[in-house]
Structure 1
Amino acid sequence: MSSPVWHPFTQHGLGEPIPLVTGAEGAALYTEDGRRIVDAISSWWVTTHGHGNKRIMAAIAEQAGKLDQIIFAGWTHEPAETLARGLVEIMPPALAHVFFSDSGSTSVEVALKMALGFWANRGEARHRIIVMEGSYHGDTIGAMSVGQRGVFNRPYAPLLFDVATLPFPAAGREQETLDALEALCHAPDAPAAFIVEPLILGAGGMLIYPPRLLAEMRAICARHGVLFIADEVMTGWGRTGTLLACEQAEIVPDILCLSKGLTGGAIPLAVTLATREIFAAHYSDDRTKQFFHSSSYTANPIACAAANANLAIWREEPVLDRVAALGRRQAERLARLQSPRIRNRRQIGTITALEIADEESSYMSALGPRLLAFFRERDLLLRPLGNTVYVMPPYCIDDADLDAIYGSIGEALDTL
């Protein structure tokens, strides 16, 4: 009997194999048929310290025996209070308020609603959102609206709201991007906010731009009073070499989205952090000005306990040293890949990427499924973005597994 499960981003009509994973530890997944699979993309960018981290697993087990779930509207619990305080301590001081949700996409929805609510409660009609070309912020309606339009969301176009789009600041086009942002911010119908993935676009192709451009974009928004939203769902928790990508540009956003590595990747949870000014715009004795957003599992106690364990790991263990070492080890292996088919070899922190020359350079490149199958047959979880191959492993991965990853990429360059 075929499985009734409908998998995400999967065309079931192609009949591609879907391995059954029965366990995981460190940087490895284990399947029903006894295979050991190297998790080269941190199970969709979430697993930071490795699968089955003992500190996080123990925190989950302990909390499950105390309090599993409680409504968070008008009620609270210790894991959420501890986590909010811990986040405020580790994040930039200006981000003083923490709103909980349950995924990266919902953290973006929250950020957009915060921005619009801020202006509405101040009595200012500012509705437009500025986005960057090639961006991706999730698959809910608001998150799709602020992402790149195309194959991901074409069937749902009637549901999406209009946005203003900046060109991606590719080499040689940097000033074009800054000029476009300046013009949009200076327009008579002033925008409400600019949302951006700091330093690297994720699903848009792992495209990297320098910190100075991020800093200049932040400065333009600040000059014109446009709220700056940093979507660090992927880039946060060390992926780019620092706790936050924004640190490398020495900027602080008005609103910050975090998820994925928030719990070390063990369990779903997200937060949207905001400045005192944004919170104050919703603070009133007028009930109509409250922030109208929630989900049933907002600040789930078990998920918060996992995140508290993750924060303890960041406080007490040399995580950034591991990140730096992994970056160096990957850089060595990336540099050793030699092929005339390599295009735009690049790296930031623990993320490496390259394009394989192909007739079609896009997410829908026919090379993508062939690469996926090639790596799966070699016991690797690598999920190319079309003809873009990227590596984003857990920080605990060892040299043997890195050799297997980059060796297979080299083999693919030679044989496919």
Structure 2
Amino acid sequence: MDLKSSPIWYPYTQEKLADDPIIIEKAQGAYLYPKGGEKVYDAISSWWVNIHGHSHPYINKRLNEQLSTMEQTIFAGHTHVPAINLAKRILEKLGNKFHKVFFSDNGSTSVECALKMSLQFWKNQGIKRQKILAFNHGFHGETFGTRAVGNCLENISELCQGVFEIDFIEAPIPGTTLSQLEEKLASNDYAAFIFEPIIQGVRGMVMQDINVLDSMIKLCQEKEILCIADEVMTGFGRTGKMFAIDYLENKPDIVCLAKALTGGTLPLALTVCNEKVHQAFYSDDLSKALLYGHSFAGNALGCAAAHASLDLLEKAETINSIEKINSYHLDFAQEVKGSNFKTLFKDIRIMGTIIALEYKSNSKNGYFNELGPKMKSFFRDRNVLLRPLGNVIYIIPPYCSKQDDLKLAYEAIWDFSEGLND
């Protein structure tokens, strides 16, 4: 179906410039199967969500079992065992350093909830702290609140100014010091500090200095500023550990989880907080409650899928696959560094199952770089699903990917780079 006649308004699409959408009839394992075309390797896990592969038989089995009992119920004043057990399981995975789990349905709502928690935390105590501290070039979701605290896409971020009072500081990329943060903290009027731990995804998989980030969290918590870790992209094995915060000594007060939570099967999100945060809402006063919720919060099918995904993540086979993908990325990076087009790249970044290659460019860096559309068209013709972030091409594959699958993506990137070098 061509874009002009389609009744659908597609995300992140300029209809006047974009190719017509590919109609997918089936998805199995690491591949998408278009109508009347060759299979496509899903090298970005369908927007970073599908960690075990499409139509996974074990997840489908657990979904069918749950579907025969209950699909959805109101979550205010009611509950169910799949949600209760999932909350317990997540708290255990997080090292029992947290206390309560709030359910919603996507990454944006998870972060929205965290922002509401942190602002109301201070209001409930009668203390006026309303400013938010965030990293420059961050991305935290698609709603007005989440876009306000993330200024990665400037054309939208400008529309969200005024939602919160926000200060932006530079993320702790290697070489960063604490001086900018120390200067900001002199006023000590921040409600919360929100950050993408270790990796800024939409910025271009930009990786941070773990020790400096750790020190930033410590400094903020010494000033009693609530720290929010947006693990929507990094959670569930992406960085090589279950959560990116597992690399940190100083733990945040609130953690946001979504995307891979259900193995990419259904929308589900969690906002997890420590006891300190929760106690500020525990009161005889109804107005101090977190009066917030979503119709599909705690969806039973989503919880069943999440349990199945966690089961798979605990298997030695999955852990080994994550390690192998990392080793394949490292080998490919070495090949690129030894190639005749190595000078095309400003940086090559790898962590866990993620590899990002940043091309040098004379035009504007970031999402609107002119290389982006050229790459997207090239990889589409190669039957590899890769969506560049401006002048950055990255791979964030399903964990079921084998070396031959990844070679399809590596070879496509290699050929595109050779073409630029001609």
The TM-score range, normalised by the shorter chain, is: over 0.9
- Note the C-alpha offset of 1:405: 0.5
For 2:128, give the aligned amino acid: A
Counterpart for residue 48 of structure 1 = 51
Specify the SS of the correspondent of 1:228. strand
Q: Name the CA shift for 1:251/1:33 in 2 (closer, same or farther; >3 Å).
A: farther
What CA distance in whole angstroms lies between the structure 2 residues aligned with 1:305 and 1:152? 38
Contact 1:242 1:320 survives alignment (8 Å): no
Specify the SS of the correspondent of 2:185. helix
Counterpart for residue 368 of structure 2 = 364
- Note the C-alpha offset of 1:169: 2.5
Matched, 1:118 2:118: no
Match of 1:410 among 402, 409, 414: 414
Q: Which of 207-216 and 156-165 deviates more?
A: 156-165
Q: Which runs of 5+ in 1 are unaligned?
A: none
For 2:193, give the aligned amino acid: F
Contact 1:356 1:413 survives alignment (8 Å): no
Listed as ranges, the matches of 1:203-242 within 5 Å are: 203-242=202-241
For 1:220, give the aligned amino acid: L
Contact 1:221 1:228 survives alignment (8 Å): yes
Specify the SS of the correspondent of 1:95. coil
1:258-303 Cα distance to aligned partner (Å, 9 max, x none): 0011101111100000001111111112111110111111111111
Contact 2:152 2:203 survives alignment (8 Å): no
Match of 2:164 among 161, 177, 199: 161
Q: Name the CA shift for 1:284/1:394 in 2 (closer, same or farther; >3 Å).
A: same
- Note the C-alpha offset of 1:79: 1.1
What CA distance in whole angstroms lies between the structure 2 residues aligned with 1:288 and 1:336? 60
CA RMSD of aligned residues (A): 1.5
Q: Which of 15-24 and 290-299 deviates more?
A: 15-24
- Note the C-alpha offset of 1:362: 2.4
For 2:366, give the aligned amino acid: S
- Note the C-alpha offset of 1:315: 3.2
Q: Which runs of 5+ in 2 are unaligned?
A: none
Counterpart for residue 336 of structure 1 = 335
Contact 1:136 1:147 survives alignment (8 Å): yes
What CA distance in whole angstroms lies between the structure 1 residues aligned with 2:389 and 2:315? 35
Output the TM-score relative to the length of structure 2: 0.94
1:331-370 Cα distance to aligned partner (Å, 9 max, x none): 1112212212111111111110111222212211111101
What CA distance in whole angstroms lies between the structure 2 residues aligned with 1:283 and 1:155? 36
What CA distance in whole angstroms lies between the structure 2 residues aligned with 1:358 and 1:412? 15
1:88-130 Cα distance to aligned partner (Å, 9 max, x none): 1211212121000100011000000011111111111111000
User: What is the percentage of aligned positions where both structures have the same residue?
Assistant: 40
Contact 1:26 1:396 survives alignment (8 Å): yes
What CA distance in whole angstroms lies between the structure 1 residues aligned with 2:205 and 2:332? 18
What CA distance in whole angstroms lies between the structure 2 residues aligned with 1:231 and 1:381? 25
For 1:170, give the aligned amino acid: I
Q: Which of 353-362 and 70-79 deviates more?
A: 353-362
Listed as ranges, the matches of 1:167-182 within 5 Å are: 167-172=170-175, 174-175=176-177, 178-182=178-182
- Note the C-alpha offset of 1:159: 5.7
Q: Name the CA shift for 1:50/1:363 in 2 (closer, same or farther; >3 Å).
A: same
Contact 1:41 1:381 survives alignment (8 Å): yes
Contact 2:63 2:304 survives alignment (8 Å): yes
Contact 2:192 2:226 survives alignment (8 Å): yes
Q: Name the CA shift for 1:41/1:384 in 2 (closer, same or farther; >3 Å).
A: same
1:162-193 Cα distance to aligned partner (Å, 9 max, x none): 30111123333x11xx22222222315x2011
Matched, 1:4 2:3: no
What CA distance in whole angstroms lies between the structure 2 residues aligned with 1:195 and 1:65? 40
Q: Which of 79-88 and 192-201 deviates more?
A: 79-88
- Note the C-alpha offset of 1:144: 0.4
Match of 2:382 among 378, 383, 389: 378
What CA distance in whole angstroms lies between the structure 1 residues aligned with 2:163 and 2:9? 24
Matched, 1:61 2:60: no
Match of 2:38 among 22, 35, 38: 35
- Note the C-alpha offset of 1:150: 4.3
Counterpart for residue 258 of structure 1 = 257
Contact 1:29 1:38 survives alignment (8 Å): yes
Listed as ranges, the matches of 1:279-358 within 5 Å are: 279-337=278-336, 338=339, 339=341, 340-358=343-361
Output the TM-score relative to the length of structure 1: 0.96
Contact 1:118 1:281 survives alignment (8 Å): yes
What CA distance in whole angstroms lies between the structure 1 residues aligned with 2:26 and 2:36? 12
Counterpart for residue 191 of structure 2 = 192
For 2:181, give the aligned amino acid: L
What CA distance in whole angstroms lies between the structure 1 residues aligned with 2:213 and 2:369? 30
Q: Name the CA shift for 1:362/1:138 in 2 (closer, same or farther; >3 Å).
A: same
Specify the SS of the correspondent of 1:186. coil
Q: Which of 45-54 and 152-161 deviates more?
A: 152-161
What CA distance in whole angstroms lies between the structure 2 residues aligned with 1:227 and 1:378? 46
What CA distance in whole angstroms lies between the structure 2 residues aligned with 1:186 and 1:226? 12
What CA distance in whole angstroms lies between the structure 2 residues aligned with 1:157 and 1:97? 30
Which aligned runs of 4 or more in structure 1 are off by greater than 4 angstroms?
A: none
- Note the C-alpha offset of 1:160: 3.3
Match of 2:393 among 381, 389, 393: 389
What CA distance in whole angstroms lies between the structure 2 residues aligned with 1:289 and 1:259? 26
